[in-house]
Amino acid sequence: MLNVIVNRKARRVGKLIAKTEKRLAAAGIAYRIFYTDKPGAAFKYARSLSSAGGKEFLVVGGDGTVNEVLSGLVDPSVCTLAVMPAGTGNDFAVAAGIPSRMKALELYLNGVPRPVDYIECGTRRSMNIAGTGIDVEVLRRCERMKYGTRRGKYFRALVACLLRYRGTKLRVTVNGETKEYTALIAAVCNGTQFEGGIPLCPAAEIDDGQLELVIVDCPPLRKLVPELIRLMRGKLLTRPITHHIPCAGAVIEGDGNIFVQYDGEICEEGALNAKIVRGALKLYRG
């Protein structure tokens, strides 16, 4: 039985699901559909269905919905996952070579699932990138804005952060060594990009059995915009302010609680304690 978990707010989801049902029926696939209508619903569906023995999941939505389903699975190692990217960013789908919309369904119907890594973070998991820094502050500001389009909110929040952000003081423990940073961004990467296409770590691979820790020192205000432009162009890893450390896991702590994003989903945490889980989930991917 294929369990289809759908983000009801995904783009043009009604037409997409109608086509999906028609194609699944033509292929003789038994399925049931579950619609999410609020944050946390995909997690609850995945937890309930996997607890009852469900093992095959198709996620229709973006990175946040995929994150919730992964985090909700009781035991990812016995599950297979297919993704139909229908979010605003779909960053993990890019790293995994998953095509958009109905082409992704054909990948599920005609392909073979292959092992993929994911990030274990205590009570949460992440398929793509988990971290903290200016990107999280931008997202938090967006969430507090009541008016405007998503793109308009993001631009206004980014401008506000550029005027005020002075870095986050962090302690990072990796490969047995602890160092302190005043960071613009600190993240562990399984995927290559975040925030709808920003190439934070082009060197990352989703099936190489390791994480890529990326820490970017916060530059002086006069240099902040040029460095962010380099980030947008995928050139930040070569900069002197960037620390790129391959690892199996890392702990990122602040002076108190910190706000962490897991594939774009924000939580307040005592620390980000991340470790790679090698090849324990089977994914239909390119």
What is the overall mean pLDDT for the chain? 93
Q: Kindly report the CATH number assigned to the domain that includes residue 222.
A: 2.60.200.40
Among 15-19, 60-64, 124-128, 219-223, the minimum mean pLDDT is found in 219-223
pLDDT score, position 139: 83
pLDDT tens profile 70-99: 999 999 999 999 999 998 789 999 999 999
β-strands 168-174, 129-133 pairing? unpaired
Q: In terms of Cα–Cα distance, which of 62, 68, 67 is closest to 44?
A: 68
Q: Kindly report the CATH number assigned to the domain that includes residue 26.
A: 3.40.50.10330
**169 and 232 assigned to the same domain:** yes
Q: In terms of Cα–Cα distance, which of 240, 252, 243, 235 is closest to 136?
A: 252
User: How far apart (Å, rounded) are the C-alpha atoms in residues 75 and 108?
Assistant: 21
- Domain final residue pick, 46, 79, 111: 111
- Would residue 237 count as lying in a domain? yes
| Structure-block tokens of residue 139 | 């997202």
**89 and 172 assigned to the same domain:** no
pLDDT score, position 231: 87
pLDDT tens profile 246-284: 999 999 999 999 999 999 999 999 999 999 999 999 999
Cα–Cα separations (whole angstroms), residue 198 to 33, 85, 231, 233, 243: 32, 17, 7, 8, 18
Residue-number span of the structural domain to which 89 is assigned = 2-111
**89 and 173 assigned to the same domain:** no
pLDDT score, position 163: 75
pLDDT score, position 244: 97
Number of domains composing the chain: 2
Give the DSSP per-residue string, the chain: -EEEEEETTSTTHHHHHHHHHHHHHHTT--EEEEEE-STTHHHHHHHHHHHTT--EEEEEE-HHHHHHHHHH-S-GGG-EEEEEE-SS--HHHHHHTPPSHHHHHHHHHHS--EEEEEEEETTEEESSEEEEEHHHHHHHHHHH--SS-HHHHHHHHHHHHHHH---EEEEEEETTEEEEEEEEEEEEESSS-BTTTB-S-TT--TTSS-EEEEEEEPPPHHHHHHHHHHHHTT-GGGSTTEEEEEESEEEEEEEEEEEEEETTEEEEEEEEEEEEEEEEEEE---
What angle is formed at CA 101 by the lines to CA 99 and CA 105, rounded to 5 degrees?
Answer: 80
pLDDT score, position 62: 93
pLDDT tens profile 151-208: 677 778 877 777 778 889 999 999 999 999 999 999 999 999 998 888 999 999 999 9
- Would residue 157 count as lying in a domain? no
**15 and 94 assigned to the same domain:** yes
pLDDT score, position 151: 62
What percentage of the chain reaches a pLDDT higher than 90? 76
**199 and 274 assigned to the same domain:** yes
CA atoms within 13 A on the CB side of 139: 18
- Would residue 152 count as lying in a domain? no
Q: In terms of Cα–Cα distance, which of 210, 203, 195 is closest to 63?
A: 195
pLDDT score, position 137: 87
